[in-house]
Structure 1
Amino acid sequence: MKHSPIQDLESSSVTNPGRKRSNNEDCFLSLPAHSLWMVADGMGGHEAGEVASEIVRKTLEQKPNQPLPDTIQAAHRAVLNAVASGVGAEGMGSTVVALRSNPEQFQVAWVGDSRSYLFSRNTGELELLTRDHSYVQMLLESGAIAANEAHTHPDRNIITQCLGSQELDTVTVDHIERQWQEQQWVLLCSDGLTDELSDADIAQILQRCKTPRDATRALMQAALNAGGRDNITLQIIAAPKHTPSLLEKLSHWVPVFSHSRRLDTFIYLAAISVLVALLYWTLY
């Protein structure tokens, strides 16, 4: 996806160790100047998980304009190299979900079970954009369990791949692209949020919030109130604010002549021009 910075784009990011953990293995990256956001959820225990997620964060920060799948693959190699050099601990790893945006569209790329959702403030609809790389997701897709069993399944936190997995020379970086629509928000989050709140809970909270800042704080408080058993990190990125051109502003006053607003505007302006010319010719 072609990158071009967006100056007028609102976002908010929060992280919290939760109520049961003494350390925070999550981290996030927010680079509005490069239209790049990321959430990483480290694993491997104290002085390992937070090391892995920080390596992922730094890798994306150092390569902000490269294609997201390539940068995430580089982060995987960086975690492997760190372990080989004695940094962190054997077996450490991290999930990642990242968003890159331009004025017309956005791309989400991910590895693991950190998620991205698309929320429409116009309709209240919440759509899951990512597909978990997890054991439970495999069970769902095979038909072994029903959707209502996934949220409480005892193996729901087992993931099938992560950055830093020593069994994998390369990881499968899934990614999608979507066109921005007005009044949309993208939510990036670690499983500390989705383990505590259902999709319906998340949608209800987002619907009543006016800004990304209000929404991130409301979601965080709700997850903590629900137990906060894991680290919790989330970001909300709003669709770019669209400044209409003079032609677009005028088009709202244009009668409908055809199926093309551009043609209708041209006809309307041409008719006004002819009318002005006739009035001038009549009066002078």
Structure 2
Amino acid sequence: MMLVHPLEYSAATHPGLKRENNEDCFLSAPDVDLWVVADGMGGHDAGEVASAIVRETFEKLAEAGRAFSLQDAIQKSHEEILSSADKGIGAIGMGSTVVALLSQKKNYQIAWVGDSRAYLWSPDDNGGKLTRLTTDHSYVQMLYTSGAITAEEVETHPDKNIITQCLGMQELSQVKVDITQGQWQKDQWILLCSDGLTDELSDESIAQILEHSPNSLTAVDQLLHEALTNGGRDNITLQIIESPLVADSLSSRFWNWIPSITNNRTWDAIIFFSAITILLGLLINTLR
């Protein structure tokens, strides 16, 4: 029997070794099962403004309590960036990519615009399998899809970082939001990341690190470390979200008994047993 637990996750962001500021932004909202990575662009701090607008837009829509749509949130983010630039907030021409995950019990949905990516990691008897869930909205992806270049040429193409659309693009009244969905399986992880990670690490390198990571926190730390070691030429942001499905074992029954307080199982257990210890101490003192 499989049980559905609150999702565990780990996240990190770093300006990299060549940039003075960090134009990446991320949102972790486990209370509404939502995770977002946004990669801003525009220079002169404008990229920071654009990616922050994406995060704030998602936050406001999620807090509104209505049925949540990733597509609507992304379109709204695009509109907010455009209107903010018109008001002198940030700068004309600023923009942001986005990739977002919404988990719904045993199912998940991913939506994106630009070249920030989502990967699915599925462990198996042979180590595991890494599947890219998103397709870059980029010039070289168009070349590859048309057959003009090979997969090997994609990684070394001089125009690799030219994207075909982003949030805030002045020429677009609406962006084309791509969406994929799937069903969680036991022990799977979903990795959301900006291109600062994938420019430094191949899919094969990412898979190797995930295979040898005992938990998502270690995986995030190792991926970030390797990206920095390989050059860290851009801002780097990543989140790993763990499958909510776990086997109905003795340990899973124990964790199911612990109330969810912080959405971190270890801290939930510490807080719960600390509270029990204090209550027992008060009870003993009362009975003396």
For 1:154, the aligned partner's letter is: P
Alignment equivalent of 1:66, drawn from 65, 68, 83 = 68
Could you tell me how far 1:7 is from its partner in structure 2? 5.4
In 1, Cα distance between equivalents of 2:44 and 2:132? 31
| Contact map agreement 2:186 2:247 (CA 8 A) in 1 | no
For 2:155, the aligned partner's letter is: H
For 1:24, the aligned partner's letter is: N
Tell me what 2:36 maps to.
38
Tell me what 1:56 maps to.
54
Do structure 1's residue 237 and structure 2's residue 241 form an aligned pair?
yes
Do structure 1's residue 186 and structure 2's residue 190 form an aligned pair?
yes
Q: Equivalent residue of 2:27, what SS?
A: strand
Alignment equivalent of 1:207, drawn from 207, 211, 214 = 211
In 1, Cα distance between equivalents of 2:161 and 2:122? 28
Could you tell me how far 1:244 is from its partner in structure 2? 3.6
For 2:103, the aligned partner's letter is: S
Could you tell me how far 1:243 is from its partner in structure 2? 5.7
Could you tell me how far 1:245 is from its partner in structure 2? 9.9
For 1:114, the aligned partner's letter is: S
For 2:55, the aligned partner's letter is: R
Could you tell me how far 1:54 is from its partner in structure 2? 0.2
Could you tell me how far 1:145 is from its partner in structure 2? 0.5
* TM-score, normalised relative to structure 1: 0.83
Do structure 1's residue 113 and structure 2's residue 128 form an aligned pair?
no
Tell me what 2:284 maps to.
none
Q: Which deviations, in whole Å up to 9, do the C-alpha atoms of 1:162-185 show, x marking residues without a partner?
A: 000010000000011100000100
In 1, Cα distance between equivalents of 2:245 and 2:188? 10
Q: Which runs of 5+ in 2 are unaligned?
A: 254-288
Alignment equivalent of 1:15, drawn from 13, 16, 29 = 13
Tell me what 1:155 maps to.
159
Q: Equivalent residue of 2:245, what SS?
A: coil
Query: What pairs with 1:268-279 in structure 2 (closer than 5 Å)?
Result: none
In 1, Cα distance between equivalents of 2:56 and 2:248? 37
Number of equivalenced pairs: 242
Do structure 1's residue 98 and structure 2's residue 109 form an aligned pair?
no
| Contact map agreement 2:120 2:130 (CA 8 A) in 1 | yes
In 2, Cα distance between equivalents of 1:209 and 1:86? 45
| Contact map agreement 1:76 1:164 (CA 8 A) in 2 | yes
Moved over 4 A (4+): none
* TM-score, normalised relative to structure 2: 0.82
Tell me what 2:143 maps to.
139
| Contact map agreement 2:194 2:236 (CA 8 A) in 1 | yes
Alignment equivalent of 1:76, drawn from 75, 78, 83 = 78
Identity %: 60
Larger Rg computed on CA atoms:
1
Do structure 1's residue 164 and structure 2's residue 168 form an aligned pair?
yes
